[in-house]
Amino acid sequence: MRIIVGITGGIAAYKAPELVRLLVKAGHEVRCAATPHALEFVTRTTLETVSANPLYCDLFRGNATETEHISLKDWGEMLVIAPATANIIGKMASGIADEPLSTLLLAMPPQRVLMAPAMNSQMWAHPAVQRNLATLRTWGVRTIGPDDGDLACGSSGTGRMAQPEAIARQVASLLQQPHPLQGERWLVTAGPTYERIDSVRFIGNYSSGKMGFALAEALAEAGADVELVAGPSALRTAHPRIHRTDVESARQMYTAATEAFPACRGAILSAAVADYRPETCADHKLKKQGDQGLTLSLVQNPDILATLGTMKQAGQVLVGFALETDNELQNAESKLHRKNLDYIVMNSLRDTSAGFGVDTNKVTLLAADGQRTATPLLSKQEVARIIVETVTRHKE
Ligand code: CTP
């Protein structure tokens, strides 16, 4: 595999050449990337010698047409930051790119990053560092360490970088992670739909798309090729195995989803689809009519989930979402059977930290065979992983 080792300016940088040596010995091709401060602790010559590759440590080297942080990002299958200072953790969490390594980090999908933090134990315990790390973890960044022990500042406590052997072992186990969904295609719908009233107005809802995008990422991480049909959303997709189709209205989503479904092993429909649309859409901006009110006539949209339920063939898995306020479980269960689903993910609007717009969710997954899985309040990424693990295990 092709691995980038990123080195930042902490005393543990002296262990980075040993990590590079272990990775090379394990058969990987390694390139090093260093911050300017890292080079106060370890030299370019050392890093280039142990990796047998040129060091990336200057944003403006080379010719003007070469964007090395992008080509290096494309080259590297994994980026291991060892040591990771509080500074680089904070920069990544804030999206700051002011030197070569932080710029590379901003280009790299977070799921491909492993960080080995190293710092003084009080810095490690600081709420800013812990908050930043929690943010990185919700994006899929993995971490190893820090360990307990004597620290360079003379004190002892938590803050020592994990040993190079332990980091190399972690790299090996992450790279060996199975891709159980390799060769499978999955459909995901996400986000809201907008139903046009006239050329400047629409009926919409507060869905952000976060849950659906997290599901698409989790499926792609597990090896699947993902057809993501997304309503209007500011979110970005990073994974190369996600193929995204942007749509606006329920009818456009219906067309894209019904076209994609026959070639898919399964579908997870998390979009908040408008049940109704205005019967007519004016091609100009509607003017106020004196002080009279306005009555909109609405017609029902096609039910994408129910349609896929009728199209479903043996071996296909269909998963819907239910956002309920009353008689939650009963309503979700009846939806599960009515729409011929294999699973339904129930969100309760009673949970204030779950549902639209927020980064966390708490769901109950109901299976057609009666099994139930309830999650605690977790990041949407973690909830997505649990849903994906459960529904992709489904066998006829
Ligand atoms: N859904 C869909 N197409 C629609 C409406 C909903 O695919 N036109 C899907 C959603 O993506 C979600 C599930 O149906 O997976 C649940 O949507 P919801 O609006 O809660 O359910 P309804 O079937 O509309 O039931 P009700 O309005 O009676 O609660």
> Ligand 1 centre and the CA of 322: distance in Å?
7
359: Cβ below 6 Å to ligand 1? no
Nearest to 4 by CA among 113, 109, 93, 89: 113
Bond preceding residue 146 cis, omega within 30 of 0 = yes
At 396, the pLDDT band (50, 70, 90 cuts) reads: low
> Ligand 1 centre and the CA of 316: distance in Å?
19
Alpha helices in 238-355 (DSSP H): 250-260, 304-311, 328-338
Catalytic: which of 32, 57, 153, 281? 153
| Ligand 1 atom nearest residue 335's Cα | 23
What pLDDT is stored for residue 65 in this prediction? 53
> Ligand 1 centre and the CA of 339: distance in Å?
10
Higher pLDDT, residue 64 or 248: 248
What pLDDT is stored for residue 289 in this prediction? 84
The Cα 333–Cα 341 span in angstroms is 10
Q: In which element (H, E) is residue 16 found?
A: helix 16-25
Q: Where are the domains of the chain?
A: 2-175, 185-278+294-395
| Ligand 1 atom nearest residue 320's Cα | 15
Which fold is adopted by the domain 185-278+294-395? Rossmann fold (3.40.50)
161: Cβ below 6 Å to ligand 1? no
What pLDDT is stored for residue 149 in this prediction? 81
338: Cβ below 6 Å to ligand 1? no
57 labelled catalytic: no
Higher pLDDT, residue 328 or 268: 268
CA angle in degrees (0–180, nearest 5) for 77-80-84: 155
High-pLDDT (> 70) share of the chain, %: 96
Query: pTM for this one?
Result: 0.66
322: Cβ below 6 Å to ligand 1? yes
Atom 8 of ligand 1, residue of closest alpha carbon: 303
CA dihedral sign, ordered 254, 187, 317, 321: negative
- pLDDT of 211 over the 60 cut: yes
> Ligand 1 centre and the CA of 326: distance in Å?
15
pLDDT digits over 2-51, tens only? 999 999 999 999 999 999 999 999 999 999 999 999 999 999 999 999 99
Atom 20 of ligand 1, residue of closest alpha carbon: 322
Mean of the per-residue pLDDT values for the chain? Answer: 91
Atom 17 of ligand 1, residue of closest alpha carbon: 322
What pLDDT is stored for residue 63 in this prediction? 52
Bond preceding residue 83 cis, omega within 30 of 0 = yes
The verdict on domain 2-175 having CATH code 3.40.50.1950 is yes
319: Cβ below 6 Å to ligand 1? no
Higher pLDDT, residue 349 or 163: 163
The Cα 371–Cα 369 span in angstroms is 6
What pLDDT is stored for residue 178 in this prediction? 76
Pocket test for ligand 1, best of 269, 277, 300, 317 (most atoms within 8 A of CB): 269
Atom 9 of ligand 1, residue of closest alpha carbon: 305
| Ligand 1 atom nearest residue 323's Cα | 20
3-state secondary structure of 131: helix
- pLDDT of 212 over the 90 cut: yes
pLDDT digits over 174-200, tens only? 888 778 898 999 999 999 999 999 999
* Mean pLDDT for the stretch of residues 316-335: 92
What pLDDT is stored for residue 302 in this prediction? 98
* Mean pLDDT for the stretch of residues 110-133: 94
For residue 188 the two structure tokens come to 């995901």
Q: CB neighbours (10 Å) of residue 11?
A: 16
| Ligand 1 atom nearest residue 321's Cα | 15
| Ligand 1 atom nearest residue 189's Cα | 11
3-state secondary structure of 78: strand
188: Cβ below 6 Å to ligand 1? no
Across 335-339, 382-386, 392-396, which has the greatest mean pLDDT?
335-339
CA angle in degrees (0–180, nearest 5) for 347-349-350: 115
> Ligand 1 centre and the CA of 75: distance in Å?
42
Strands 195-196 and 156-160: unpaired
The Cα 71–Cα 272 span in angstroms is 37
